[in-house]
Amino acid sequence: MVLNRELIDRQISLAGERLGDIETKMSDPSIVSDARSMTRLGREHRRLKEVINAASNHEKLENELKGARELAAETGDDEEMHALAVAEVEELAPLAEQAETRLQLALVPPDESDEKTAILEIRAGTGGEEAGLFAGDLLRMYERFCERQGWRMEGISGTGSDMGGFKEVVISVKGEGAYGLLKFESGVHRVQRVPATESQGRIHTSAASVAILPEAEKVDVEINDGDLRIDTFRASGAGGQHVNKTESAIRITHLPTGLVVSCQDEKSQHKNKAQAMRVLRSRLYEKALEEERSKRSESRKLLIGSGDRSAKIRTYNFSQGRVTDHRINLTLYRLNDILDGDLTELIDALRLRDSEDRLREGVS
C-alpha cells in the first residue's frame, strides 16, 4: 500500500457511516420535497457508494492475490501447478494495483468546485513567435482532450499571432468534472524544439502559461460596481474576429485586487462586457478558493492543482519525443499521443499524488 493501511481502513469506515446517514436523510419526507437538498445528497451518495464498491473490489483482489502467492509457494515441487499459480499471480498483481489506485482516488472527496465549468486561459510566454505557435499547439491538445471527454468548448476571447499561433486565448470548457480534471494543468509549459523560424536547425526553448479557473456563478462571488473601472477601446491586432473602428472592446479593472480582464472578440460592447465579467468573476472565485486552500494546507509543498501560474510544471521535448511533468518527476515518451489529447496518464498520476497528500493531511 502507498498509504498506511490503518488510515485507509479508517477512511472506508467513515465513508460507510456517512453513507448510512445520507440514506436515512434521503428517506425523510421533509428532505425528499427539497430538490436542492436531494440533488446534493444524491451526489454525495453516489461518491460514497463508489468508495464502498472500490474498497470491496480491492479487498477481493487482494485476497485472491494472497491466495495465489501462497499456492505458488506451496507447489514448488509440482511444476505444472506452480506455473499455473505464478501465472495467476502475474495476472492478479496489476489488477490489484489498479484497484488500489481507484480506491485511493475515490476516498478523497472532490473540492466543491470540481464539477464546475472550467475557464481555460493560454498565454504565449518567452520565445516570440515560437511561443505563440506553442500556445496554439497547447490549445489543440486541450481541444482533443475535451473531445475525448465529450466536453464542449466555447471561445470567450483570443488574440492571434502573426504566424498563426496565439498571443492569448480564453476558452470555456463545459462538461461533467471539467474543472476537477483540468485544474492540474495550471502553470508554465515549456517546449524544446527546432522552431519553424530557425534556419540552422538549432533547438530553442519557449514557453506558454496555462491557467485553469472554475467558472463562478453570481452567487459564488459578489462584485460591487463601485469596485470596477470599465474602459472601452477599439478592437485591434491579429486574431480579433471583428476588428473595427468603434470602441466595442472592454477592459475591466477590479480595483481592490488589481485584476484586469479585457475582451474584444464580440461586435457588441455589451457582449464583450458580459464575457469579461464572466472571466473576472472566475478569477476572483479562484483567488478566494486558493486562499482557503492555503489556510487548510500550509504544509503542502507540491504545486498540484494550486493554480500557481509562475511554476514550471511540464516540458515537451520534441527531439527526444518525451514529456516530463516536473511536479511528480514523471517522464513519458509519448509526445505525439499527448499533443493529440491523450492526457489521461498524466492527469491520473497527478490526481493520485494529490490524493496521497490530502489523505495524509486527514481529509475525510
For 20-46, give the DSSP string. Answer: HHHHHHTT-HHHHT-HHHHHHHHHHHH
- Mean local confidence (pLDDT), 75-88: 89
CATH of domain 225-294: 3.30.160.20
The domain limits of the chain are 5-107, 118-218+304-360, 225-294
The pLDDT-based confidence of 241 (bands split at 50, 70, 90) is very low
Which one of 3.40.50.12500, 3.30.70.1660, 3.90.1200.10, 3.40.605.10 gives the CATH number of domain 118-218+304-360?
A: 3.30.70.1660
> DSSP letter at 255?
T
Q: What is the pLDDT of residue 320?
A: 95
Confidence (pLDDT) at 89: 93
Check whether 300 has a pLDDT greater than 50: no
| pTM, full prediction | 0.70
Domains 5-107 and 225-294 belong to one CATH topology: no
- Sheet strands side by side (includes 259-263): 228-233, 249-254, 259-263
The answer to whether the CB of 221 falls within 8 A of the CB of 280 is no
* Residue 195: pLDDT band with limits 50, 70, 90: confident
Assess whether pLDDT exceeds 80 at residue 310: no
What per-residue confidence (pLDDT) applies to 293? 63
Judged by DSSP in three states, 312 sits in: strand
Residue that wins the pLDDT comparison between 21 and 107: 21
Q: Is 178 left (phi over 0), alpha (psi -120 to 50) or beta?
A: alpha
User: pLDDT at position 299, please?
Assistant: 39
Going by pLDDT thresholds of 50, 70 and 90, the confidence category of residue 1 is very low
Gap between the Cα atoms of 120 and 122, Å rounded: 7
Q: How many Å apart are CA 243 and CA 249, to the nearest integer? A: 9
User: What pLDDT, on the 0 to 100 scale, is given for residue 63?
Assistant: 94
DSSP-based three-state secondary structure for 201: coil
* C-alpha distance from residue 289 to each of 210, 228, 305 (Å): 18, 21, 11
- Tell whether the model's pLDDT for residue 60 goes beyond 80: yes
Output the CATH code of domain 5-107: 1.20.58
Where helices occur in the chain by DSSP H, the ranges are: 5-25, 29-32, 35-74, 79-107, 129-149, 178-182, 269-296, 335-339, 344-360
Q: How confident is the model at residue 92 (pLDDT cuts 50, 70, 90)?
A: very high
Q: CA-to-CA distance for 76 and 61, rounded, in angstroms?
A: 23
Given a cut of 50, is residue 276 above it in pLDDT?
yes
Cα 262 to Cα 60, 119, 120, 234, 252: the distances in Å are 55, 15, 15, 12, 6
Spatial CA neighbour of 12 closest among 110, 96, 106: 106
> If you average pLDDT over every residue of the chain, what do you get?
84
pLDDT of residue 147: 96
